[in-house]
Protein backbone atom coordinates (compact mmCIF):
# COMPACT_ATOMS: atom_id res chain seq x y z
CA UNK A 1 0.00 0.00 0.00
CA UNK A 2 1.32 3.47 -0.84
CA UNK A 3 1.68 5.81 2.14
CA UNK A 4 0.51 9.39 2.15
CA UNK A 5 3.01 10.47 4.80
CA UNK A 6 6.34 10.80 3.01
CA UNK A 7 8.77 11.96 5.69
CA UNK A 8 9.22 11.77 9.39
CA UNK A 9 11.07 13.75 11.99
CA UNK A 10 13.37 11.88 14.36
CA UNK A 11 15.55 12.87 17.30
CA UNK A 12 19.12 11.73 16.63
CA UNK A 13 21.99 11.48 19.07
CA UNK A 14 24.98 13.59 18.27
CA UNK A 15 28.11 11.47 18.13
CA UNK A 16 29.60 12.50 21.44
CA UNK A 17 26.31 13.73 22.87
CA UNK A 18 27.25 17.40 22.72
CA UNK A 19 24.08 19.47 22.40
CA UNK A 20 23.02 20.44 18.91
CA UNK A 21 21.50 19.19 15.65
CA UNK A 22 19.23 16.88 17.56
CA UNK A 23 16.63 16.33 14.86
CA UNK A 24 16.67 15.17 11.30
CA UNK A 25 14.24 14.44 8.51
CA UNK A 26 14.18 11.09 6.85
CA UNK A 27 12.07 9.74 4.02
CA UNK A 28 9.62 7.01 4.85
CA UNK A 29 9.17 4.15 2.38
CA UNK A 30 6.71 5.14 -0.36
CA UNK A 31 5.36 1.57 -0.43
CA UNK A 32 5.03 -0.52 2.69
CA UNK A 33 6.33 -4.09 2.76
CA UNK A 34 3.38 -6.57 2.69
CA UNK A 35 3.37 -7.15 6.47
CA UNK A 36 4.56 -3.69 7.57
CA UNK A 37 2.51 -1.08 9.38
CA UNK A 38 3.15 2.66 9.47
CA UNK A 39 2.57 4.08 12.94
CA UNK A 40 2.05 7.72 13.84
CA UNK A 41 3.73 7.96 17.21
CA UNK A 42 2.00 10.04 19.88
CA UNK A 43 4.19 9.42 22.91
CA UNK A 44 7.56 7.88 23.73
CA UNK A 45 8.57 6.92 27.27
CA UNK A 46 12.25 7.17 28.14
CA UNK A 47 14.13 4.40 29.88
CA UNK A 48 17.45 4.31 31.73
CA UNK A 49 18.96 2.72 28.63
CA UNK A 50 18.30 5.87 26.58
CA UNK A 51 20.25 8.04 29.01
CA UNK A 52 22.95 5.39 29.41
CA UNK A 53 23.42 5.02 25.64
CA UNK A 54 23.50 8.79 25.20
CA UNK A 55 26.26 9.00 27.78
CA UNK A 56 28.38 6.19 26.38
CA UNK A 57 27.62 3.58 29.06
CA UNK A 58 25.84 0.95 26.98
CA UNK A 59 27.63 -2.42 26.96
CA UNK A 60 26.02 -3.49 23.64
CA UNK A 61 26.89 -2.14 20.15
CA UNK A 62 25.59 1.37 19.50
CA UNK A 63 24.72 2.90 16.11
CA UNK A 64 26.44 6.21 15.50
CA UNK A 65 23.90 9.06 15.58
CA UNK A 66 21.14 6.58 16.33
CA UNK A 67 17.58 7.43 17.32
CA UNK A 68 16.89 6.72 21.04
CA UNK A 69 13.78 5.05 22.43
CA UNK A 70 12.29 1.58 22.55
CA UNK A 71 8.96 2.50 24.11
CA UNK A 72 6.22 4.15 22.07
CA UNK A 73 2.47 4.40 21.68
CA UNK A 74 0.84 5.32 18.41
CA UNK A 75 -1.83 4.82 15.84
CA UNK A 76 -1.67 2.65 12.73
CA UNK A 77 -2.12 4.97 9.74
CA UNK A 78 -1.20 2.65 6.85
CA UNK A 79 -0.79 -1.10 6.39
CA UNK A 80 0.91 -3.38 3.88
CA UNK A 81 -1.16 -5.59 1.55
CA UNK A 82 -0.85 -8.74 3.67
CA UNK A 83 -1.40 -7.23 7.12
CA UNK A 84 -4.05 -9.15 9.06
CA UNK A 85 -3.23 -8.68 12.74
CA UNK A 86 -3.96 -4.93 13.00
CA UNK A 87 -5.90 -2.37 11.00
CA UNK A 88 -5.78 1.35 10.30
CA UNK A 89 -6.86 3.27 13.39
CA UNK A 90 -5.66 0.65 15.90
CA UNK A 91 -3.74 1.98 18.90
CA UNK A 92 -0.53 -0.03 19.21
CA UNK A 93 2.85 -0.28 20.94
CA UNK A 94 5.96 -2.05 19.67
CA UNK A 95 7.41 -4.96 21.59
CA UNK A 96 10.98 -4.68 22.86
CA UNK A 97 12.11 -8.17 22.00
CA UNK A 98 11.89 -8.81 18.26
CA UNK A 99 12.68 -12.50 18.42
CA UNK A 100 10.09 -12.83 21.17
CA UNK A 101 12.49 -14.41 23.62
CA UNK A 102 16.13 -14.19 22.80
CA UNK A 103 17.34 -10.99 21.19
CA UNK A 104 16.81 -7.30 21.66
CA UNK A 105 14.84 -5.15 19.28
CA UNK A 106 14.82 -1.39 19.03
CA UNK A 107 18.23 -1.81 20.68
CA UNK A 108 21.14 0.59 20.53
CA UNK A 109 22.39 -0.87 17.25
CA UNK A 110 19.28 0.17 15.36
CA UNK A 111 17.15 3.28 15.25
CA UNK A 112 14.64 3.60 18.07
CA UNK A 113 11.21 5.13 18.42
CA UNK A 114 11.84 8.79 19.26
CA UNK A 115 10.31 10.00 16.01
CA UNK A 116 7.04 11.17 14.55
CA UNK A 117 6.51 7.91 12.62
CA UNK A 118 7.85 4.38 12.71
CA UNK A 119 7.46 1.37 10.40
CA UNK A 120 7.16 -1.99 12.18
CA UNK A 121 6.30 -5.49 11.13
CA UNK A 122 2.76 -6.26 12.27
CA UNK A 123 4.06 -9.19 14.37
CA UNK A 124 6.08 -6.76 16.48
CA UNK A 125 3.23 -4.64 17.81
CA UNK A 126 0.55 -5.25 20.41
CA UNK A 127 -2.80 -3.51 20.69
CA UNK A 128 -3.16 -1.04 23.55
CA UNK A 129 -5.92 -0.88 26.17
CA UNK A 130 -8.59 1.61 25.03
CA UNK A 131 -8.83 3.46 28.33
CA UNK A 132 -5.18 4.57 28.53
CA UNK A 133 -3.99 7.99 27.33
CA UNK A 134 -1.07 8.05 24.89
CA UNK A 135 1.32 9.00 27.68
CA UNK A 136 0.16 6.15 29.94
CA UNK A 137 0.22 3.74 26.99
CA UNK A 138 3.80 4.66 26.12
CA UNK A 139 5.18 3.34 29.42
CA UNK A 140 3.74 -0.15 28.95
CA UNK A 141 6.07 -1.86 26.42
CA UNK A 142 9.47 -1.71 28.10
CA UNK A 143 9.00 -0.84 31.79
CA UNK A 144 5.58 -2.50 31.85
CA UNK A 145 6.44 -5.75 30.10
CA UNK A 146 9.71 -6.03 32.04
CA UNK A 147 7.87 -5.58 35.34
CA UNK A 148 5.22 -8.07 34.19
CA UNK A 149 7.87 -10.68 33.30
CA UNK A 150 9.72 -10.10 36.56
CA UNK A 151 6.57 -10.69 38.59
CA UNK A 152 4.72 -13.04 36.31
CA UNK A 153 4.76 -16.18 38.42
CA UNK A 154 3.19 -14.22 41.26
CA UNK A 155 0.79 -12.09 39.29
CA UNK A 156 -0.83 -13.36 36.18
CA UNK A 157 -3.38 -15.74 37.65
CA UNK A 158 -4.41 -13.18 40.22
CA UNK A 159 -4.82 -10.31 37.79
CA UNK A 160 -6.81 -12.42 35.36
CA UNK A 161 -9.10 -13.88 37.99
CA UNK A 162 -11.51 -12.17 40.30
CA UNK A 163 -10.11 -14.03 43.30
CA UNK A 164 -8.91 -12.01 46.20
CA UNK A 165 -5.34 -12.92 46.87
CA UNK A 166 -4.52 -13.22 50.54
CA UNK A 167 -0.95 -12.67 51.53
CA UNK A 168 0.79 -13.43 54.75
CA UNK A 169 4.42 -12.64 54.48
CA UNK A 170 4.30 -12.11 50.73
CA UNK A 171 6.01 -8.87 49.98
CA UNK A 172 7.83 -7.43 47.06
CA UNK A 173 10.82 -5.24 47.60
CA UNK A 174 11.63 -3.38 44.46
CA UNK A 175 15.29 -3.14 45.17
CA UNK A 176 17.03 0.15 44.67
CA UNK A 177 14.88 2.51 42.87
CA UNK A 178 11.81 4.52 42.27
CA UNK A 179 12.39 4.44 38.51
CA UNK A 180 10.27 3.10 35.70
CA UNK A 181 10.49 -0.67 36.11
CA UNK A 182 10.23 -0.45 39.91
CA UNK A 183 7.16 1.77 39.99
CA UNK A 184 5.41 -0.27 37.30
CA UNK A 185 6.15 -3.44 39.30
CA UNK A 186 4.78 -1.68 42.36
CA UNK A 187 1.51 -0.92 40.56
CA UNK A 188 1.11 -4.48 39.26
CA UNK A 189 1.93 -6.02 42.62
CA UNK A 190 -0.56 -3.81 44.44
CA UNK A 191 -3.23 -4.54 41.84
CA UNK A 192 -2.76 -8.20 42.77
CA UNK A 193 -3.16 -7.47 46.45
CA UNK A 194 0.50 -8.06 47.24
CA UNK A 195 2.23 -6.15 49.99
CA UNK A 196 5.24 -4.28 48.72
CA UNK A 197 8.51 -3.08 50.19
CA UNK A 198 10.06 -0.29 48.16
CA UNK A 199 13.77 0.39 48.47
CA UNK A 200 15.18 3.78 47.44
CA UNK A 201 18.15 6.05 47.99
CA UNK A 202 15.89 9.01 48.68
CA UNK A 203 13.42 9.78 51.49
CA UNK A 204 11.95 12.50 49.31
CA UNK A 205 11.26 10.07 46.47
CA UNK A 206 9.80 7.53 48.90
CA UNK A 207 7.48 10.20 50.32
CA UNK A 208 6.43 11.25 46.81
CA UNK A 209 5.55 7.74 45.72
CA UNK A 210 3.75 7.01 49.00
CA UNK A 211 1.66 10.15 48.59
CA UNK A 212 0.94 9.36 44.94
CA UNK A 213 -0.18 5.79 45.55
CA UNK A 214 -2.06 6.32 48.83
CA UNK A 215 -3.51 3.47 50.86
CA UNK A 216 -2.57 0.77 51.66
CA UNK A 217 0.78 2.17 52.72
CA UNK A 218 3.90 0.87 51.04
CA UNK A 219 6.62 -0.34 53.36
CA UNK A 220 9.88 1.44 52.60
CA UNK A 221 13.59 1.00 53.16
CA UNK A 222 16.30 3.54 52.39
CA UNK A 223 19.33 1.70 51.03
CA UNK A 224 21.53 4.78 51.14
CA UNK A 225 21.14 5.60 54.83
CA UNK A 226 20.89 1.90 55.67
CA UNK A 227 23.77 0.02 53.99
CA UNK A 228 22.61 -3.29 55.58
CA UNK A 229 19.12 -2.80 54.18
CA UNK A 230 18.58 -6.53 53.74
CA UNK A 231 18.33 -6.80 57.54
CA UNK A 232 15.63 -4.16 57.57
CA UNK A 233 13.68 -6.12 54.93
CA UNK A 234 14.03 -9.24 57.07
CA UNK A 235 12.83 -7.30 60.10
CA UNK A 236 9.78 -6.06 58.18
CA UNK A 237 8.91 -9.66 57.23
CA UNK A 238 9.37 -11.13 60.72
CA UNK A 239 12.67 -12.68 59.69
CA UNK A 240 11.13 -14.70 56.85
CA UNK A 241 12.14 -12.61 53.84
CA UNK A 242 10.16 -11.59 50.78
CA UNK A 243 8.78 -13.91 48.13
CA UNK A 244 10.27 -12.12 45.18
CA UNK A 245 12.69 -9.30 44.49
CA UNK A 246 12.74 -7.12 41.39
CA UNK A 247 16.50 -6.60 41.34
CA UNK A 248 17.76 -3.45 39.63
CA UNK A 249 21.21 -2.91 41.08
CA UNK A 250 23.03 -5.97 39.70
CA UNK A 251 26.15 -7.38 41.31
CA UNK A 252 26.38 -4.47 43.76
CA UNK A 253 23.12 -5.52 45.45
CA UNK A 254 22.28 -9.04 44.25
CA UNK A 255 23.61 -10.93 47.26
CA UNK A 256 21.86 -8.58 49.67
CA UNK A 257 18.62 -9.11 47.73
CA UNK A 258 19.11 -12.86 47.98
CA UNK A 259 19.76 -12.63 51.71
CA UNK A 260 16.36 -11.07 52.31
CA UNK A 261 14.40 -13.40 49.99
CA UNK A 262 12.56 -16.19 51.74
CA UNK A 263 13.81 -19.77 51.36
CA UNK A 264 12.61 -21.07 48.00
CA UNK A 265 11.85 -17.53 46.79
CA UNK A 266 12.73 -15.77 43.54
CA UNK A 267 15.04 -12.95 42.55
CA UNK A 268 14.19 -11.49 39.14
CA UNK A 269 17.37 -9.86 37.87
CA UNK A 270 16.34 -6.86 35.76
CA UNK A 271 19.04 -4.20 35.96
CA UNK A 272 22.73 -3.60 36.35
CA UNK A 273 22.65 -0.05 37.71
CA UNK A 274 25.51 -0.56 40.14
CA UNK A 275 27.85 -1.77 37.39
CA UNK A 276 29.91 -4.99 37.36
CA UNK A 277 31.44 -5.60 40.79
CA UNK A 278 32.52 -9.24 40.89
CA UNK A 279 34.01 -8.83 44.39
CA UNK A 280 30.47 -8.22 45.69
CA UNK A 281 29.35 -11.68 44.53
CA UNK A 282 31.57 -13.74 46.87
CA UNK A 283 28.58 -15.07 48.81
CA UNK A 284 26.41 -15.74 45.74
CA UNK A 285 26.81 -19.53 45.64
CA UNK A 286 26.51 -20.11 49.38
CA UNK A 287 23.42 -17.89 49.55
CA UNK A 288 21.63 -19.44 46.56
CA UNK A 289 22.19 -22.91 48.01
CA UNK A 290 21.43 -21.98 51.60
CA UNK A 291 18.15 -20.25 50.72
CA UNK A 292 17.26 -22.56 47.80
CA UNK A 293 16.59 -19.56 45.57
CA UNK A 294 15.73 -19.13 41.92
CA UNK A 295 17.57 -16.22 40.32
CA UNK A 296 15.94 -15.44 36.95
CA UNK A 297 17.34 -13.23 34.22
CA UNK A 298 14.71 -10.89 32.78
CA UNK A 299 14.97 -9.39 29.30
CA UNK A 300 11.75 -7.42 28.75
CA UNK A 301 9.34 -10.07 27.51
CA UNK A 302 7.82 -11.84 24.56
CA UNK A 303 4.91 -10.61 22.44
CA UNK A 304 2.74 -13.01 24.40
CA UNK A 305 3.95 -11.45 27.66
CA UNK A 306 3.12 -7.99 26.35
CA UNK A 307 -0.32 -9.11 25.12
CA UNK A 308 -0.98 -10.64 28.55
CA UNK A 309 0.03 -7.39 30.23
CA UNK A 310 -2.33 -5.40 27.99
CA UNK A 311 -5.15 -7.85 28.75
CA UNK A 312 -4.51 -7.54 32.49
CA UNK A 313 -4.49 -3.74 32.28
CA UNK A 314 -7.77 -3.78 30.34
CA UNK A 315 -9.36 -6.27 32.73
CA UNK A 316 -8.46 -4.22 35.80
CA UNK A 317 -8.82 -0.78 34.11
CA UNK A 318 -5.54 0.19 35.78
CA UNK A 319 -4.22 3.67 35.07
CA UNK A 320 -0.68 5.02 35.44
CA UNK A 321 -0.95 8.77 36.00
CA UNK A 322 0.49 8.29 39.46
CA UNK A 323 3.77 6.87 38.16
CA UNK A 324 4.32 9.38 35.36
CA UNK A 325 6.86 11.83 36.70
CA UNK A 326 6.64 14.34 33.86
CA UNK A 327 5.65 14.83 30.23
CA UNK A 328 7.99 16.75 27.91
CA UNK A 329 7.54 18.14 24.41
CA UNK A 330 9.47 16.65 21.48
CA UNK A 331 11.75 19.69 21.21
CA UNK A 332 12.82 19.13 24.84
CA UNK A 333 13.92 15.51 24.25
CA UNK A 334 17.54 16.29 25.02
CA UNK A 335 16.69 17.90 28.37
CA UNK A 336 14.38 14.98 29.19
CA UNK A 337 17.16 12.44 28.54
CA UNK A 338 19.51 14.44 30.75
CA UNK A 339 16.85 14.56 33.52
CA UNK A 340 16.68 10.75 33.43
CA UNK A 341 20.47 10.52 33.45
CA UNK A 342 20.55 12.60 36.62
CA UNK A 343 18.02 10.20 38.16
CA UNK A 344 15.64 13.01 39.15
CA UNK A 345 12.45 11.20 38.20
CA UNK A 346 10.03 9.22 40.31
CA UNK A 347 8.49 6.82 37.82
CA UNK A 348 8.41 7.50 34.10
CA UNK A 349 9.45 10.40 31.88
CA UNK A 350 7.38 10.70 28.71
CA UNK A 351 7.86 12.72 25.52
CA UNK A 352 4.69 13.75 23.73
CA UNK A 353 4.94 13.95 19.95
CA UNK A 354 2.43 16.34 18.49
CA UNK A 355 4.11 17.02 15.13
Query: Would you count residue 273 as binding ligand NAP (CB under 6 A)?
Result: yes
> Contacts for 289-292 with beta carbons within 8 Å, 24 or more apart?
291/241, 291/258, 291/259, 291/261, 291/262, 291/263, 291/264, 291/265, 292/263, 292/264
Query: Would you count residue 106 as binding ligand NAP (CB under 6 A)?
Result: no
Shortest approach of ligand NAP to residue 65 CB, angstroms? 22
Shortest approach of ligand NAP to residue 220 CB, angstroms? 10
What secondary structure does DSSP assign to 105-162, as a single string? SS-TTS--S-BSEEEEEGGGEEEPPTTS-HHHHHTIIIIIHHHHHHHHHHHHHHHHS-
Query: Would you count residue 177 as binding ligand NAP (CB under 6 A)?
Result: yes
Which residue number is nearest to ligand NAP in terms of Cβ? 179
Query: Would you count residue 302 as binding ligand NAP (CB under 6 A)?
Result: no
Shortest approach of ligand NAP to residue 277 CB, angstroms? 10
Q: Which of 113, 126, 138, 146 binds ligand NAP (CB under 6 A)?
A: 146
Shortest approach of ligand NAP to residue 80 CB, angstroms? 29
Q: Are 47 and 142 within 8 A, CB to CB?
A: yes
Query: Would you count residue 274 as binding ligand NAP (CB under 6 A)?
Result: yes
Shortest approach of ligand NAP to residue 63 CB, angstroms? 18
Query: Would you count residue 300 as binding ligand NAP (CB under 6 A)?
Result: yes
- The piece of 34-42, 61-69, 198-206, 311-319 that touches ligand NAP (CB under 6 A) is 198-206
Nearest in space to 269 (alpha carbons), one of 284, 279, 286, 257: 257
Burial class (CB in 10 A: 0-12, 13-18, 19+), 4: exposed
Q: Are 91 and 128 within 8 A, CB to CB?
A: yes
Q: Are 8 and 115 within 8 A, CB to CB?
A: yes
**CB closer to ligand NAP, 90 vs 325:** 325
Residue ranges that bind ligand NAP, judged by CB under 6 A: 47-49, 142-143, 146, 176-182, 200-202, 205, 248-249, 270-274, 298-300, 340, 343
Amino acid sequence: MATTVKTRQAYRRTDDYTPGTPKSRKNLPAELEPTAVLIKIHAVALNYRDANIANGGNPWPVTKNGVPGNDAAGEVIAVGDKVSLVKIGDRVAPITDAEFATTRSTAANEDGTLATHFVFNERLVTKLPDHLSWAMSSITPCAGTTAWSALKAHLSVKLFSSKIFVVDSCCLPSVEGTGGVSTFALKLARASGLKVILNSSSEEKLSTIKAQLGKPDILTVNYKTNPDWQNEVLRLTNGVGVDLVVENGGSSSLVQSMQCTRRGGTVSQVGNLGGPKAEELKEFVSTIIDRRLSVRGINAGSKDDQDELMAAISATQMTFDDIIDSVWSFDKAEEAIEYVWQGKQVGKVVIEIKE
